[in-house]
Structure 1
């Protein structure tokens, strides 16, 4: 049979593990995630003809509504034209005249995405990290409230038991 001390020890262990996980995720969310690997991939993609690399960047830019690593100026640095995946209206279309026309108008009107993918991905990662941290904090607080409630209930039951024992003892003494 599990004693109160074993139960309390296990519960404190769980709260400790959740606290460590929450603090750990906060630390990792702050430290991890430099965009250097994204930057290396971008410049490699710009200098080497690789369909897989182009597909990766097209997908990344269109899904995240971003352009380049730091912004569309990255393409000017490597002497490349801003791709259609940086244009909201041009990229969903298949290759053809309409896509080329929308891409050309996007470039002339400068209506392409202005935010770099590094910043966009950092914001998304930060948001997911905040959700994880908040969930951890909520669970830790909930468990602490449960511990406080359990201690209060144990004290109430103990005092009620003492009162009943005193009443019984007083009843039998008279």
Structure 2
């Protein structure tokens, strides 16, 4: 009797079923949160890479308008490029902390992501102001350049610039083909895309005459076409900033949730082992 009682008292007791259920629940919920956090970080990385590529292309486009006029906007694009690279690095850090179950790395990730969110908000405001300012400056510059009376080599250079603009943006004149009549010049050849791209002078002239007779030249003015493009770029950057803000906010909440669940899982595990 005594030996049986002693043997029973020395055997380790099984942990309570409620504690085991709590541990299993924490483990399952932590795994779900980790998968979701990694998925959100992957989306943030893809979003940052797309923004990086957009900013690089936009920088090249803005240089065509002159670095003097677009200087502030170019700086904004460079800042966007740096912020995109930082977001990629921070997202990778978050994935590493999630995979390694490192509470310290997750807290560091949340801190860096919070700083990055605040930085992105300031960048979005700065880029928006600079881009709207560029629209006004560019509109004034286009008007002055189109209606100014150039001669000699300067006129050839100006005409080449406008030919490139009209072919690139499929536009004609400042606000339309009628602007050429206002400055006493025939409609530019580059307003007729097929004629401008013709290989021989004879074919070019025939297509140009046909273009004028059928009024098949570009209808939109270059001012509206260029400003619409700049507005679309500004809207894209603002949209990306808002989208990034929500994704990054969700990532921060998930990271805090995972870190807290890991801490709770450790406490529950210690409590289970104790029993």
Identify, as 1 or 2, the structure richer in helix.
2
2:19 is matched with which residue?
Answer: none
Within the candidate set 168, 182, 187, 1:77 is matched to: 182
Distance 1:56 1:4 in 2: 53
- Contact 1:22/1:137, CA 8 A, preserved across alignment: no
Q: Per the alignment, in what secondary structure is the counterpart of residue 247 of structure 2?
A: helix
The aligned runs of 1:7-86 (5 Å cut-off) are 7-34=109-136, 35-44=139-148, 46-49=149-152, 50-86=155-191
Superposition deviation, residue 104 in structure 1 = 1.6
Q: Find out whether 1:112 has 2:214 as its counterpart.
A: no
Superposition deviation, residue 6 in structure 1 = 5.5
Query: Residue deviations 1:78-120, cap 9 Å, x none?
Result: 1111111111221112562221221122112211111000111
- The runs of 4+ residues in structure 1 deviating greater than 4 Å are 2-7
Number of residue pairs matched by the alignment? 168
- Contact 2:189/2:208, CA 8 A, preserved across alignment: yes
Query: TM-score, structure 2 length as denominator?
Result: 0.55
CA RMSD of superposed structures (Å): 2.3
2:263 is matched with which residue?
Answer: 158
Q: Per the alignment, in what secondary structure is the counterpart of residue 185 of structure 2?
A: coil
Query: TM-score, structure 1 length as denominator?
Result: 0.83
Distance 1:95 1:75 in 2: 25
Describe the shift of the 1:121–1:113 C-alpha distance in structure 2 as closer, same or farther (beyond 3 A): same
Mark the structure with the bigger radius of gyration: 2
